[in-house]
Amino acid sequence: MNVVILAAGMGKRMRSALPKVLHPLAGKPLLSHVIDTARALSPSTLCVIYGHGGDMVPELLQATDLAFARQEPQLGTGHAVLQALPYLNDDTPTLVLYGDVPLTTAASLRRLLDIASGNKLSVLTVDLDKPDGYGRIVREQGKIVRIVEQKDATETERAICEVNTGILIAPTVKLKQWLTTLSNDNAQREYYLTDIVARAVADGVPVVSAQPDHVWETLGVNSKVQLAELERIHQRNIADALLEQGATLADPARIDVRGALLCGRDVSIDVGCVFEGKVELADNVTIGAHCVIKNALIASGAHIKPFCHIEDAVVGAGSMIGPYARLRPGTELAEDVHIGNFVEVKNSRIAAHSKANHLAYVGDATVGMRVNIGAGTITCNYDGVNKFRTVIEDDAFIGSDSQLVAPVRVGKGATLGAGTTLTTDAPAGKLTVSRARQTTIDGWKRPTKQATSPKK
């Protein structure tokens, strides 16, 4: 089938220079949600109609399976679909979607496809208690005969609660014919796609309808308020799915998933957490409050304490992270590693049972097993131009407030005394100390504040 996605609108009520369809929902553009749903239907043609914002839409959404057609000027939905005609295959039906309606499910669209078989015109409708602003479905003897926009509707027609969502499937050959006959003789002086319903009735083409599983599937975004409302709906849907899978959420209303979150058994997530990209939490993982985790694998039994930031990192089984720890890209922690408060790890591998419990920076390092990294320790990995690597072998003990100036190696079982600045390799099994000798000055007196003369 052909899929056409209308994404040319200006979105004046968004109060933004960014095209409406590029505003993010759950971390990705509204239009990307629609494209992903369309792809789930395996279309033979996927054409995006863009306009407002110039080439921002095709530049951002480059993909080999997408065709783009520009609508300039924007003269209505019928005029928009007209721009896609060169890309449409006559032998398959055409599905029309909207780039600012991000939550429509593939299941509801498949239902619409099923009833469209046999060259019918199939429209997705929904019943609303307050249908203001929507086109009304006008029926005679139960059959759809036309769709009337609110601005053109009579008082009787405005009382109709079944409304048009705009989503429809049409036989492509007929669709092309109908689009060429549209008129803009209406209140908005636009070419309405909905007018093809009357054309279909006149041609004897059956007009049928289906309804989605949920009303929110048909809600569009025209303002930041509506965008925020859909964000909460979407996040609650994700939260409910996680709960059904067995995860424990301290408050389902206070979680944000901006990508894919996979949870094993007995996972617990506290409030205010944000998950971005692809995050996998294995069995018995605990995530404390207000953590931000992006593109990470957290192995079984790991405990992430509150206020941690983890990005492009792997946390081993049974490890304990935080609070207030930061794991940057390239971090790989083995099992039972402890990274404590105000510790930052970047592009480093830390082997099993090692720990850096507070106030440390471990960057571009390879750390062995059972290593203790004391408070205030840093690996000095950058000379202003190049990055260098630090190696700390098994069972080493790094005293507090040490600086390891890379490239440097700490041998197996070595100990660095507190305050050491290490610039050459520390031999295995020995104590290395680098600091000034402590002295006491006899007869020294602390300075006192001298009296000042009063101002004249």
Residues annotated as catalytic are: 358
CA–CA separation, 122 and 134 (whole Å): 18
Which residue, chain included where needed, has tokens 């996680």?
242
The two tokens of residue 291 are 């953590």
Start-to-end CA distance of the chain, whole Å, equals 94
Determine which helix (DSSP H) or strand (DSSP E) holds 359, and give its type and residue range: strand 355-363
Torsion of CA 96, 99, 101, 104, to 10 degrees: 60
> Nearest-5° angle of CA 392, CA 397, CA 400?
105
Identify the three-state secondary structure at position 20.
helix
CA–CA separation, 418 and 400 (whole Å): 5
CA–CA separation, 355 and 343 (whole Å): 10
Q: Are 121 and 144 in contact (CB under 8 A)?
A: no
The two tokens of residue 236 are 């609650």
Q: Are 269 and 285 in contact (CB under 8 A)?
A: no
Which amino acid is it at 104?
Answer: T
